[in-house]
Amino acid sequence: MSCSTCTSGDLLIAAGCKNNGGCSTGGCNKMNTYDWLSDMDLPPYEVFDVVEIRFKGTRKDFFRNTLKLDITNGDAVIVDVPNGHHLGFVAMQGELVRLQMIKKGITDDENIRQIYRKASPKDFEKYQSIKNREAPTLYRTRELIEELKLEMKLSEVEFQADNTKATFFYSADERVDFRELIKVLAAEFKIRVEMRQISLRQEAGMLGGIGSCGRELCCSTWLSDFKSVTTSAARYQNLSLNPSKLSGQCGRLKCCLNYELETYMDALEDIPTLEGPLLTMRGQATLQKTDIFRKLMWFGFEGVASWHAIDTARVMEILEMNKRGEKPSDLYEDTDSKLEIAQAINTDLEQLDRKYRNKARNVRKKYNKNRWKKNKQ
């Protein structure tokens, strides 16, 4: 049997890594949580009775365990929802839930609904039969959207466990009048219909996928708060402003552009700001590129193909000299430092040049060999 709490496939038959009960990558379940307080001896007091429940996709909500049920993470439970009940899985409990509620600004009051009971095999069978309706309903609804010519994209359909309500998740650029669509859906499927608009980032997290890094999308595995991402984040990191490389599967700028932004911002504090070229006795040196982590800046003279790497301290020193109307004889302080920096920087460049030179040589050999065989025939 596969991971018992894996929700990437059916309820009882997981479609994950089939690692016999334990996922070694942590990627089978969406929005996994790790209880970092489990190995700590907390002061003896009453356990926090609110539990975080995970539903289909990345949706989570909080419910109160008023009946003091003995549940653990991954257990399926029946919870109270408006006008019925639904089936979900325990994602987190204990003091971590209290911290999560504070983070999301949710008040611990009587508005939090309760957990009815642990799910029974009969509940699983009923819910599985209800889930089998979701795919046909999704395809049929998309056909109706095309017939009604609505400017909206239907992403997912989720049926409630009591088979009385279905939630349709969609994305749209503008306001959509779907009143006629709701009437048709309610009459055809005999259920209550709820249309819920989601953003493109939420849509990508709900559908899932593999990012350009080769890993599962952050929004579908752990990322729950979507912060705004701007092109300035790419500029600070000296990334090419290529939309095809900076955009994720949602069509928006990748969320991971913000992950290292603070590190780059801290490193840029030590990089001097240049309003023009550096003035030396040899001529004007123009900035070509900057390595902010190694605190190195490359400058080139007009008409000279080679670049010169100097550290930021020397750049600051030359700027102070230029402000006083003075010009150094060269970018470097002395011959020794010039050779030392040049050797340290050029090592990486030489290795890169050697790599591609050998690659090009092998390609030419292979081409000549194939050409010789073809002529021989």
Domain for residue 5, yes or no? no
Are residues 126 and 112 part of one domain? no
pLDDT digits (tens, 9 = 90+) for 211-228: 888 888 998 888 888 888
Tokens linked to 282: 């040899």
pLDDT at 370: 72
> Residue 114 has what DSSP assignment?
B
- Does pLDDT of 76 surpass 50? yes
DSSP-assigned beta bridge partners for residue 197: 170
**For residues 322-337, average pLDDT:** 77
pLDDT digits (tens, 9 = 90+) for 31-63: 777 777 766 666 656 778 899 999 987 888 999
Which of 119, 144, 160 is where one domain is finished? 119
Domain for residue 197, yes or no? yes
Alpha-carbon distance 315 to 330, whole Å? 11
Domain for residue 201, yes or no? yes
Domain for residue 32, yes or no? no
Are residues 202 and 129 part of one domain? yes
Burial of 354 (0-12, 13-18, 19+ CB in 10 A): exposed
Q: How many CB atoms lie within 10 A of CB 366?
A: 10
- Pick 116 or 345 by higher pLDDT: 116
Average per-residue pLDDT for the chain:
83
Domain for residue 43, yes or no? no
Domain for residue 307, yes or no? yes
**Helix ranges (DSSP H) in the chain:** 95-104, 121-131, 134-148, 179-189, 200-207, 218-221, 231-236, 243-246, 261-268, 312-323, 335-376
**For residues 341-367, average pLDDT:** 66
Are residues 89 and 61 part of one domain? yes
Q: Could you tell me the CATH number of the domain that includes residue 185?
A: 3.30.300
- Does pLDDT of 343 surpass 80? no
Which one, of 143, 140, 47, lies nearest residue 92 by Cα?
47
DSSP sequence for 333-360: SSHHHHHHHHHHHHHHHHHHHHHHHHHH
pLDDT at 7: 46
Domain for residue 188, yes or no? yes
- Does pLDDT of 29 surpass 50? yes
Domain for residue 38, yes or no? no
Indicate the range of 243-247, 280-284, 324-328, 352-356 predicted with least confidence.
352-356
Task: Find the domain containing 101 and state its range.
Answer: 50-119
Q: Is residue 334 very low, low, confident or very high in pLDDT (cuts 50, 70, 90)?
A: low
